[in-house]
Structure 1
Amino acid sequence: MNRKVDEVRTDPPGSTTSDPAPNAPEGPPSRPDPALPLLTRLAALRERVAALVDLRSADDPTAGDPLRGLHLPEEAVGHVLRGPGRERDGADTDAPLLSSQPVGPADRIASLTVRMGLSELDAALLLIALAPDLDRDFETLYAYLNDDVSRRRATIGLALDVCGLSLLDAGARDRFHPTAPLSWLGLVRVGEPDAPFLSRPLRVPDRLAAHLLGNDTPDAVLDGQIRPLPVPQVPPGAPDSAAAPAGTAPPGAEASLTHRLAELLAEDSPPLVYLRERREGDGLACAVAALAAAGRPALHLTTAAKTPSSPDSADATPLPQLLLEARLRDCAIVVSPLPAQPAELIKALDVGGVPVILTGPAAYDPQWCDPDPLVLDAPGPRSDPAGLWAEALGLEPAEDPGFDLAATVAAYRLGGDRIRRAAHSARGLAALDGTALTAAHVRLAARQQSASGLEQHARRIMPDVGWNDLVLPETTREQLHELAQRARHRERVLGDWRLSAGGGRGRGVLALFAGESGTGKTLSAEVVAADLGLDLYVVQLSSVVDKYVGETEKNLERIFTEADRTDAVLLFDEADAVFGKRSEVKDSHDRYANLESAYLLQRLEAFSGIALLTTNLRANIDEAFTRRLDLVVDFPFPDKEQRLALWRHSLTHVPCAEDIDPAPCAKDFELAGGAIRSAVMTAAYAAAARDSAVTSEDLLTGARREYRKAGRLVKEIGSW
């Protein structure tokens, strides 16, 4: 029985071939429909399949059996035994294969063939495997040719028959080997490995079928695990340097590295690259800049998504789907940050054909993969990040945001991706307030991007004070201003101007505040943090010092490591407990105590954050620590004029009687700023209990209370 096959309609459903109405309005030019070239190719495939069906049914005694494919009648077995073999009913071997030349301007299967280096035979086999997913008629045709109504997909034998190839052709059979392009690239999956080779079904991933039809939505299994890293649009005629985002390629080593990496990524077979970063985000920012300069889009895989080696591998990142997505989009893959055990992830991604950039802070381990990737040190944060912030905030090059953007962001060491996220948050905060963008919005958003694990070992303080809250000698205030300036400009001075001492030393800012209790050391640290727009973390010594040998150093290492990657001010209050003097070794306890001090000396030199130490007695701090400090700020005990200023400042927001005069208290009671504040609080509580204003007598009572607390004699003062 001859089975005739109807002509396939090449117009997509709902379309018409009639001319448009004469008076129809002219709209924008329509984009080419990727389905049209596929329909054209399916029509050609249908003709070849129809010829094979006709050839098979011509002398098949069971062609008209309604149960054909469900059982094996005696006539079918006899027909096989009498025939010369399956080679007889292959398609015409002299007929050309299905053409892989482009059919129309939106022929995605042709562009895929060229981009992935497929042969004409590979393209034909791919179309044969894909056909049932695009046209249900092929299910019926394939089931007939497979002699099995349950096999509605192409099998290896059927595909070779349609292509007119011998089933014994070793080269043709090799196209389905796991290392052959179709399988290795994830374009065709061969199922049922236990079935006879020629009967194994061929399946095309749904994502590939959707891509060929013009759908660029990522595979659903990748939701929440990847995000695109878009390439900035470059105006026609713009220079090559314009491909990188504004501020991502400054003069110097960073620009050179970005340019060289961009050249590698533009090659046909770029190597696997590992960017080691000193600080989280540096490697990702460098990778984004290089990809933009190379004009290559990328997919960002965050390894918060689990790798296949994770215990709950059911939730692991589907790496085959990720690689297929990258190949279909002609994208690179950026992995940031690397997981703790990256060997299996790297092995799965290092398959060639897809550019892969890995970023992370860990030193490269040769055990990760073989051959070794190209290992590069990612450049650190820029000394002038204002350009990156301006672009992320959507500001024009000459636009004035209404505040000093450069001074506002100078203290932050965020990478390009973190800056983009912080800028988005800052704009959201401004919209919530219903105001224009301000420096406060930018600083709050930047601090949110610096959230860290320091709160496990330190108490977080969100500064709410300013320089006006300090009552200090002018020399001390100048040193505090200098400390803030050092924190802002350390990248320029130590990095760009190469004034770092070398030897693996960090770019941190270290200062010691020395003075009696209550002289304003902790308050000054909070003011400096507020001026820089950073949070203040006060280290809890109870969570650091441990009686067991080596545990204190481990706790300190966790704190320093976290502070290195966080934009914050670290305060060691009462630092004598940790940074005390080394002593002569008389027993094992002295030796281990000295080891702790030696560790701290080494760690401070490699520290890149901002750390402040306070002590009531400067002589208690080891001189070796003092040499490594940038500043030593002395906080003298306040004299009479400063005490009066402190009394008046503490009473600024307190309701006071008209005749109140704190001058006698400032003259007769030698109290530091902290004690004066406590005295004012005592007076304020007394006034609140009476529901009246604070009087001079209340201040006198508070001052006497502080003297008694300190164990000092209270001088009796006559009536005021």
Structure 2
Amino acid sequence: MDAGHQTDAAAMSTATAEVLARLDAHARAIATDAAAGVADGRSRRRSRHPAGESRRAAVHPSDDGDRKDYPAGAAHGEGSLATLVACFGLTPFERDLLVLCAAMELGPTAAARCAAASGREFPTFSLALAALAEPHWSALTPDAPLRRYRLVEVADDGVLTTARLRIDERVLHFLLGVPQIEPQVQGLVARTAAPGRLPESQARLAGELAEAVSADGVAALSGGDPQTRREVVVTAARAAGFGTFALSAADLPTEPADRVALARLWEREAVLLPAALLVEVSDPAKAPAAEAFVAMLGVPVVLSSQDPLPAPTTQRVHLVVAPLDQAEQRGLWRDALDGRGGDADVAALVAQFSLPGHVIRAAGALAREVGGDLRAAAWRAGLAHARIALDELGRRVASRAGWDDLVVPERQRGILHEIVAHVRQRATVYQDWGFEDVLRRGLGVTALFAGGSGTGKTLAAEVVAGELGLDLFVIDLSQVVSKYIGETEKNLRRVFDAAERGGAVLLFDEADALFGKRSEVKDSHDRYANLEVSYLLMRMESYRGLAILTTNQKKSLDQAFLRRLRFVVDFPFPNQAERAEIWRRVIPPRAPVDGVEVERLAQLTVAGGSIRNIALSAAFLAADEGTELRMRHLLAAAHTEYVKFERSVTPTEVAGWV
């Protein structure tokens, strides 16, 4: 048994001996009165207490319904009993009553001594009022500490004065110096581990939060991602002398009475541990329940959320986790790569990714484990971590196509290469050369890909993403746009916030769902439509990656919007020579062919997307027949493709095919 446990055991042994001695004295007095036949024995027994210390009905001063500041707890060297008395502000009578209940669990003779003193083999309030010093009725009121914090439980099997009293098991373990947590909160709260060394800006924030929690007890933290906020809170709580437990607002009871019960239980736990509580609000709909729960607590608590929560009726400190600056990210990457990454490698990683510290540490660990080209491994690890948030918001397209797969005029190809250069060299131009200080705004790389269906817009985006070594996420704007005011902006913000980590290539498909000639405001719908477009363009311009819009109807877009885009790439309908080149590239060299003439196939007036569909369908027809791919298979597939557009294949297009 360690010194702390020995101190706790000794303190409890002394306290229980004193309380049981009072019971013995009371039992002897009863026996003396009975033997002497004194009719007014009760009055004489009361006279044993000094004047003014008899049963008084004064209201306990511990709780007037307002928030209280609880001390962090006494050191174990003073004994757990002293800690509990100090933290909950127990009166001497309440302390002795609690010890009497503990004696029933610890002393084999306690039941018999209770029976001798009261006729019942267990502690009761009437026994305590009669036998213990400085009694007061308010000790067992519902809002007094013994019952408010469930230090003592009253059996629901009789009147208050004669009901069985029992110490709570969690409190008994605490008094004996046995570390434990209340079983009823174990499934709701989780202990949070201490993080490693925080970046300087977050360490300063943790210091501010520690002061706020120590002074006011309640603070709010927003910004960053949940894990980063958790690391800041744990560091702050540790600096303030607390452990940290986390609770999800989604797990809070729905019934107010159940929330009150949980609040009382946690207040007791916070005092006994001692610990701060981190309430994490991931769903804004759960914010009211979280606020109501926090309002009942008088112990250190931090509300964590992505966005600031509505201001409550009471004042509290609100702090924000800011993104890490590039110097901090470089330091984190160097540490994560264990010093094995060169300055150029680290600079490239910082230029591309904007990851939280815990993600950088995880990516670096994964890169070291994989080995080989450390920069390539770290890049892949960064992509893997960054894409987690986007996978549920968009469709990720694996970038397998290269420049040779893209058939577009040289002018368009040149613009695409220019887009790649803007993304790849943005760190050099903006930071190293100082253009960021001069321009300040519109630093994001934005592009509009305009052209008919199947002309290669998505393929071009895939080629650009592959050249940059980035993920391509296709976001369907028709699914993002909402008829409810404010919802479209909220959906767009989620997309861009998630994409910021890895600077993914964002392809907003069907821009016509949002863009259009709406600069002339005729009604409220037009005004909000303009706001939505402006918000999208603003986020695109500030986005650190590449954001691409696609449209089939460039003429319907307002010129004021087009001027805010850095690149506009027109994808024209392919001419016959370009169609022939697409046909050559779309049929694999390994495919068995017989008599397939590319120049005749190019007579079909269809775009690249349809060419790919026809070639694939014809290949399945040939494979099903067990023969080589022939022109008749391609003719049958062409008829099927034309049906989709409610067109018919003309004799001119298929002249000489069969």
Q: TM-score, normalised by structure 2?
A: 0.73
Distance 1:139 1:347 in 2: 43
CA change 1:632–1:154 in 2 (3 A) is farther
Whether 1:86 aligns to 2:45 is yes
Distance 2:25 2:449 in 1: 96
Match of 2:114 among 114, 117, 142: 142
CA change 1:83–1:681 in 2 (3 A) is closer
Q: Corresponding residue for 2:280?
A: 336
Tell me how far 1:302 sits from its aligned partner: 0.7
Distance 2:167 2:465 in 1: 58
Tell me how far 1:318 sits from its aligned partner: 1.8
CA change 1:555–1:335 in 2 (3 A) is closer
Kindly report which structure 2 residues correspond to 1:215-614, keeping only aligned pairs within 5 A, or say none.
215-232=178-195, 245-246=196-197, 248-250=198-200, 254=202, 256-265=204-213, 267=214, 269-277=215-223, 283-291=229-237, 296-307=242-253, 310-311=254-255, 318-337=262-281, 340=285, 342=287, 345-346=290-291, 348-350=293-295, 354-366=299-311, 368-370=312-314, 372-380=315-323, 397-398=338-339, 443-444=383-384, 446-450=386-390, 452=392, 454=393, 460-468=394-402, 470-471=405-406, 472=408, 473=410, 474-481=413-420, 510-526=446-462, 534=471, 536-539=473-476, 541=478, 551=483, 553=485, 556-557=488-489, 559-567=491-499, 571-582=507-518, 591=523, 594-604=526-536, 607=539, 612-614=548-550
| Contact kept? 1:638, 1:672, Cα under 8 Å | yes
CA change 1:43–1:500 in 2 (3 A) is farther
Distance 2:563 2:224 in 1: 25
| Contact kept? 1:511, 1:632, Cα under 8 Å | yes
CA change 1:555–1:360 in 2 (3 A) is closer
Distance 1:417 1:153 in 2: 53
* Structure (1/2) with the larger helix percentage: 2
Per-residue CA deviations over 1:7-48 (Å, capped at 9, x if unaligned) read xxxxxxxxxxxxxxxxxxxxxxxx617553343234323432
Distance 2:351 2:163 in 1: 63
Distance 2:305 2:430 in 1: 21
Distance 1:685 1:637 in 2: 27
Tell me how far 1:359 sits from its aligned partner: 1.8
Structure 1 counterpart SS, 2:187: coil
Task: Determine what percentage of the aligned residue pairs are the same residue.
Answer: 24
CA change 1:59–1:580 in 2 (3 A) is closer
Whether 1:167 aligns to 2:141 is no
| Contact kept? 2:583, 2:602, Cα under 8 Å | no
Structure 2 counterpart SS, 1:298: strand
CA change 1:58–1:711 in 2 (3 A) is closer
Distance 1:355 1:289 in 2: 14
| Contact kept? 2:181, 2:269, Cα under 8 Å | yes
Q: Corresponding residue for 1:40?
A: 10
Per-residue CA deviations over 1:640-682 (Å, capped at 9, x if unaligned) read 77555533432237513498674x3587566532133123224
Per-residue CA deviations over 1:512-537 (Å, capped at 9, x if unaligned) read 22123222212344566776765734
Distance 2:528 2:486 in 1: 10
Kindly report which structure 2 residues correspond to 1:114-153, keeping only aligned pairs within 5 A, or say none.
126-145=98-117, 147-149=118-120, 152-153=122-123
Distance 1:103 1:285 in 2: 26
Whether 1:674 aligns to 2:609 is yes
| Contact kept? 2:252, 2:289, Cα under 8 Å | no
Q: Which amino acid aligns with 1:55?
A: A
Q: Which amino acid aligns with 2:274?
A: D
Structure 2 counterpart SS, 1:334: strand
Kindly report which structure 2 residues correspond to 1:612-623, keeping only aligned pairs within 5 A, or say none.
612-623=548-559
CA change 1:375–1:719 in 2 (3 A) is closer
CA change 1:56–1:697 in 2 (3 A) is closer
Tell me how far 1:282 sits from its aligned partner: 5.9
Distance 1:659 1:478 in 2: 37
Q: Which amino acid aligns with 2:387?
A: R
Distance 2:11 2:203 in 1: 47
Tell me how far 1:321 sits from its aligned partner: 1.9
Aligned residues: 611
Flag structure 1 segments of 5+ consecutive residues without an equivalent: 1-30, 64-74, 95-100, 233-244, 431-435, 455-459
Report the aligned-residue RMSD: 5.3
Moved more, 255-264 or 691-700: 691-700
| Contact kept? 1:510, 1:611, Cα under 8 Å | yes
Kindly report which structure 2 residues correspond to 1:178-217, keeping only aligned pairs within 5 A, or say none.
186=149, 188-189=151-152, 191=154, 203-217=166-180
Q: Which amino acid aligns with 1:599?
A: L
CA change 1:492–1:273 in 2 (3 A) is farther
Per-residue CA deviations over 1:343-385 (Å, capped at 9, x if unaligned) read 564454356763211122454434x342x11122332466575
Flag structure 2 segments of 5+ consecutive residues without an equivalent: 54-72, 371-375
CA change 1:335–1:59 in 2 (3 A) is closer
Tell me how far 1:225 sits from its aligned partner: 1.8
Distance 2:340 2:527 in 1: 55
Tell me how far 1:90 sits from its aligned partner: 5.6
Distance 1:156 1:390 in 2: 69
Per-residue CA deviations over 1:99-124 (Å, capped at 9, x if unaligned) read xx999969444455566777887765
CA change 1:705–1:343 in 2 (3 A) is closer
CA change 1:201–1:467 in 2 (3 A) is same
Distance 2:438 2:218 in 1: 34
Tell me how far 1:559 sits from its aligned partner: 3.0
Q: TM-score, normalised by structure 1?
A: 0.67
Distance 2:360 2:124 in 1: 51
Distance 2:427 2:358 in 1: 21
| Contact kept? 1:582, 1:594, Cα under 8 Å | yes
Moved more, 560-569 or 101-110: 101-110
Whether 1:51 aligns to 2:21 is yes
| Contact kept? 2:605, 2:653, Cα under 8 Å | no
| Contact kept? 2:152, 2:165, Cα under 8 Å | yes
Distance 1:295 1:636 in 2: 67
Q: Which amino acid aligns with 2:285?
A: A
Distance 1:216 1:359 in 2: 28
